[in-house]
Structures are given as C-alpha cells and as structure tokens.
C-alpha cells in the first residue's frame, strides 16, 4: 500500500516538472493530444453551452499571419522591350521618280516633246530641242488641261498621255525652216555667199548666188544695245567663244562688226523673244547654226536690213 502511494507521488512530481520546463510529452498512439482540453476540445477552442466546441476564430486560436513586408510588395513589371518603349521608325518614303525630261535638258527627245505640244496648242513656236522656261510653262499648261499635277517636268504619265493624244511629228514639224515667214531677200543678198538677215521678219537666210540654203529664227539687240544695220563681212569665227565683256557663252560665233556676231543663244532658245541680245544676232536652233558655222567662210557677206 505504501509502495503504491509512493509510485503515484513520483509520477505526479514528474508531470509537474515536465509542464514547468515547457516540454511536450508525445501521447501514446490513440491517446488524447497534449493540445486538447479535458473533454476533447482543442486548446484555444471556444466551448459552447452544452459542451460542444466551435472552430477557433483567427484572433482566438492563433496570431494573425504576418508575412514579411517584402513578400507583400507587388513586384515591378518587367522592363519594356525596345519595341514597347521606342516607337518603331516609320519607313522612309520612296523617292520621287525622276522626270523623263526637265528644265535644262537638251536632246532630240525634247524636240519631239515640243513638236507634240505644238500639235496640242500648248507650244507656239518651232521646236528647238532645249527644255527652257517656255517648254516648262507649256508642259505645265498641258498637265493642267488633262488633270495632272502641273509640275512643268515631263514624267512618264505626262509623256504617255501626250503620246496618246498626238501623232508622230514629221520632219518639217521637228525642224521647220522658221516660225515666221521668211522675208523677201534684199537685193544685196542675191549675189555671192550671204547671210541675209531681216529685222522685220526676224529671220536669217543663208543664200548662195540667190538660192536660199537654210533659214532660221533670230533676235537682235535692245534699243540700248541695237544691232547695226548695213553690209558687212565675216571677220573671224570662234566655235566655243565666251564673251569677255559679259562673261556669257557665244557658241558658233561669226563676227561681222566689232564685237557683234551671229551666234547660238541658249537664252533665246529658252525664253524666246521675251529677251534681247547686247547687239549680236542670236540664233536659237543649235543644230542649224552649227551647220551654218561649218559652211560660212571668213570674208562671206552679211547683210542686215529692215
């Protein structure tokens, strides 16, 4: 009897010591959990009247879940890729197509352009083969009349439209003798080799023994720098002459009186009679005056009259 009492006292003391140091005694399999209250309710559970236990509320059963501050912070979005941050570069516009013909050009194709424009009524003079301000204005007029942008340059669309509306120019249309009727020759022009030049008709006729070999349009000096009238002779020739006084080209120059000469003028070819020379006799058809330059000799006669 005494041994039994001592054993129970020892077990009770061991239990008190276990609780005081915070240790947990693992229950035997199937035994009550050390976290359970008497009666089977878990530690921290509320006991309802009648002895039933309810689910513990978060505030009663455990401390609120506390995640580290870093865990609660929303992660930054990924860095944008170059395609998202930088707008894609717009493709460069295609360059404007180069016109087939434009101001400053000089060719047989330009001569054909002028002849065809003359058929449509947009070019009022003989073709020269030089694309100047007059031709530019004529092309722009044609473009306006046919619903095209009036650039004055001959692009593929303008050229195709012009070809469809005109006939292939004849030889006389491409190279008419002059744009004006040739004047009756002065009597002084009927003998020998003569450049016969009429201020009234503004034409030059190359004559040999009274026969006209070639004719071409010419223009003269202004009232302040008039072209001299009378009978002269060709004193000298210069194929690639440049004026030392005005610093301007004077191709195919044939001098007949001091610094006055018969020569080709690109300005005359481009602007027509809106301009004037400084006293020389200007020719605007370069192929014609080139042939004339080859035929005329030093000492041939020059007659300038009204």
Strands (E), 60-166: none
* Most confident among 98-107, 161-170, 179-188, 266-275 (mean pLDDT): 161-170
Provide the residue count of the chain: 306
Which whole number is the average pLDDT over 123-137? 91
Of the CA atoms within 13 Å of residue 34, those in its CB half-sphere come to 10
Q: What is the DSSP string of 220-278?
A: -B-SSSPPP-EEEE--EEEEEEE-TTT--EEEEEEEEETTEEEEE-HHHHHHGGGS-BS
pLDDT of residue 179: 75
Going through the chain in order, the beta strands assigned E by DSSP cover: 193-198, 203-208, 211-219, 230-233, 236-242, 249-257, 260-264, 281-283, 301-305
Res. 122: pLDDT tops 90: yes
- How much is the average pLDDT of 22-33? 41
Instruction: Return the CA Rg of the chain.
Output: 56
Q: What percent of the chain has pLDDT over 70?
A: 69
**pLDDT grade for 277, boundaries at 50, 70 and 90:** very high
3-state secondary structure of 15: helix
pLDDT at 186 over 90: yes
Q: What pLDDT is stored for residue 118 in this prediction? A: 93
The residue ranking higher by pLDDT, 175 or 157, is 157
Q: Is 45 helix (H, G, I), strand (E, B) or coil?
A: coil
- pLDDT interval class at 129 (50, 70, 90): very high
CB 196 within 8 A of CB 207: yes
pLDDT reading at 199 higher than 60: yes
Q: Quote helix, strand, coil % in the chain, to nearest 5.
A: 30, 20, 50
Domains located in the chain, CATH noted: 108-174 (1.10.101.10), 187-305 (2.40.440.10)
Q: For residues 62 and 67, what is the distance between their CA atoms, to the nearest angstrom?
A: 14
Q: Enter the tokens of residue 113.
A: 């352009």
**Do residues 205 and 215 lie in contact, with contact meaning Cβ atoms separated by under 8 Å?**
yes
Confidence band of 172 (pLDDT split at 50, 70, 90):
confident
**Residue with the larger pLDDT of the pair 94 and 64:** 94
Of residues 117 and 7, the one with the higher pLDDT is 117
Tell me which of 187 and 179 has the higher pLDDT.
187
Average pLDDT of the chain is: 80
- Assess whether pLDDT exceeds 80 at residue 83: no
State if pTM tops 0.85: no
For 210-242, the pLDDT digits (tens) are: 999 999 999 999 999 999 999 999 999 999 999
What is the edge-to-edge ordering of all strands in the sheet holding 249-257?
Answer: 230-233, 301-305, 193-198, 203-208, 211-219, 281-283, 260-264, 249-257, 236-242
- What tokens were used for 24? 């947990």
pLDDT of residue 40: 47
């Amino acid at each position: 009897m005494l041994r039994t009492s001592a054993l129970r006292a020892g077990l009770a003391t061991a239990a008190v010591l276990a609780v005081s140091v915070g240790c947990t005694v693992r229950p035997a399999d199937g035994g009550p959990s050390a976290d359970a209250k008497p009666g089977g309710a878990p530690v921290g559970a509320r006991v309802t009247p009648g002895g039933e236990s309810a689910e513990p509320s978060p505030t009663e059963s455990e401390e609120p879940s506390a995640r580290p501050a870093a865990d609660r912070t929303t992660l930054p979005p990924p860095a944008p890729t170059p395609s998202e941050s930088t707008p894609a570069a717009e493709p460069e516009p295609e360059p404007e197509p180069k016109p087939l013909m434009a101001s400053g050009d000089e060719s047989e194709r330009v001569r054909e352009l002028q002849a065809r424009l003359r058929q449509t009524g947009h070019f009022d003079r003989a073709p020269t083969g030089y694309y100047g301000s007059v031709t530019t204005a004529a092309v722009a007029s044609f473009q306006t009349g046919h619903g095209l942008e009036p650039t004055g340059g001959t692009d593929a669309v303008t050229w195709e439209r012009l070809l469809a509306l005109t006939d292939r120019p004849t030889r006389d249309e491409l190279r008419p003798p002059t744009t004006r009727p040739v004047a009756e020759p002065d009597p002084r022009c009927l003998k020998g080799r003569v450049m016969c030049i009429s201020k009234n008709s503004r034409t030059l006729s190359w004559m040999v023994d009274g026969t006209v070999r070639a004719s071409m349009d010419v223009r003269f000096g202004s009232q302040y720098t008039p072209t001299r009238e009378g009978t002269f002779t060709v004193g000298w020739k210069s194929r690639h002459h440049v004026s030392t006084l005005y610093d301007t080209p004077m191709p195919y120059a044939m001098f007949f009186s001091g610094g006055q000469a018969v020569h080709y003028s690109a300005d005359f070819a481009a602007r027509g009679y809106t301009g004037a020379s400084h006293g020389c006799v200007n020719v605007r058809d370069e192929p014609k005056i080139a042939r004339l330059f080859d035929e005329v000799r030093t000492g041939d006669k020059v007659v300038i009259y009204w």
